[in-house]
Amino acid sequence: MNIKIILADDHQMLREGLRRLIEEQQGMTVIAEADDGRATVELATRLKPDIVVMDIAMPRMNGMEATRHIMSKTPNVKVLALSMHTDRRFIVEMLSAGASGYLLKECAFQELITAIHALADQRTYLSPKISDMIVKDYTCRFPHSELSSLMILTAREREVLQLMAEGKPTRDIASILLVSAKTVETYRQQIMEKLDIHSVAELTKFAVREGLTSL
């Protein structure tokens, strides 16, 4: 398997260094580079890489917005955030936007390779420091029994649930998410099974109660 990668960072020296190191790895190829978010979205949409290694702070469009656009246009592309930011807000926003991993720029190069392999295998990856911070933050803020049931849903399932709660028909949801109506029906079935809720009316009440929508 050859993993196709796009590097998105506004620092040319960093991109060149990463490209050289990544291409020394067997089975990995950097197919393009971008120095701003809009260019990254265009390249990802056109070239359909396996993974985009994405900085957060970029001109014209930040990495969070770029990730949202990529997920809406090419949901099969995996985004790996590579950032200097350790603030929980940035981490949560990137993951909510659809990123499958989050690494700190202070990490060793080998950890980047590990993360790329994880995403290529359809898994997520968070730097240990990030994982510890998120776990501690949630356990401090919420007793275990009060953790949101939304956490058992994937990001895409939450998107589908919100659109359902807003009254969007299956055809419209499929159009918004750029998937087939059959795929939307599959997501709805998965949501119902995970939440043990079996009517759209009850799903809507759940979405409102959990703060997923204000409707």
- Mind listing the pLDDT tens digit for each residue in 123-167? 999 988 777 666 665 545 544 444 456 778 888 898 899 889 888
pLDDT in tens, 163-190: 898 889 999 999 999 999 999 999 999 9
Are 102 and 63 within 8 A, CB to CB? no
Q: pTM for this one?
A: 0.63
Evaluate whether residue 39 is within a structural domain: yes
Least-confidence region, from 27-31, 95-99, 148-152, 198-202: 148-152
End-of-domain residue from the set 140, 164, 194: 140
Instruction: Give the number of domains in the chain.
Output: 2
- Residue 139's pLDDT is 46
CA angle 5, 6, 8 (to 5 degrees): 140
What is the arithmetic mean of pLDDT over 109-135?
A: 87
φ/ψ (deg, to 5) at 197:
-125, 130
| DSSP H/E element including 51 | strand 51-54
Q: Same domain, yes or no, for 132 and 157?
A: no
Sign of CA dihedral 73, 74, 75, 81: negative
156 and 66 part of one domain: no
Q: What is the pLDDT of residue 123?
A: 92
Domain span including residue 117: 3-140
Query: What's the confidence (pLDDT) of residue 92?
Result: 80
